[in-house]
Amino acid sequence: MEGSLEAPTRHTIPWQDEAWYDEAALDAELRRVYDICHGCRRCFNLCDSFPILFDSIDEAPNEEVEDLTTPQLKAVVDACTLCDMCFMTKCPYVPPHSSISISRT
């Protein structure tokens, strides 16, 4: 089965929580999720975010997510319009699927 059976939950953004501004934690979480997408690539043609991500990895020295710079990580986020197509139509890593998860805010 592809995608989710339900729309993603929009969690309240904890902008008053200091942890929200932890750049190292954000960097680690982006790289964790991007590495899952790198290993999957089913969403390569859904929007601008995925080609930006996959091209950046393919052009990186070792073709690894670890090679990406912070501006490259940000470019993927900035291209996302929150259309939910990846969540609803493709991803095998969102509920009701188990194993690893890609969280959404």
Is 91 an interacting residue with respect to ligand SF4 (CB under 6 A)?
Answer: yes
* 93 counts as binding ligand SF4 under rule CB under 6 A: yes
| Binder of ligand SF4 out of 83, 95, 103, 105 (CB under 6 A) | 83
Q: Which is nearer to ligand SF4, 30 or 93 (CB)?
A: 93
Tell me if the bond preceding 71 is cis, omega within 30° of 0: no
Minimum CB separation from ligand SF4 for residue 43, in Å? 3
Which residues between 27 and 56 bind ligand SF4 (CB under 6 A)? Answer: 36-37, 40-43, 46-47, 49
Q: How far apart are CA 80 and CA 62, in angstroms?
A: 25
CB atoms within 10 A of CB 90: 18
Shortest distance in whole angstroms from residue 77 CB to ligand SF4: 9
Q: Could you write out the DSSP letters of every residue in 37-105?
A: HHHH-TTTTTSSHHHHHHHHHHHSTTSSGGG--HHHHHHHHHH-----HIIIII-TTSTT--SS-----
Q: Which residues bind ligand SF4 (CB under 6 A)?
A: 36-37, 40-43, 46-47, 49, 80-86, 90-91, 93
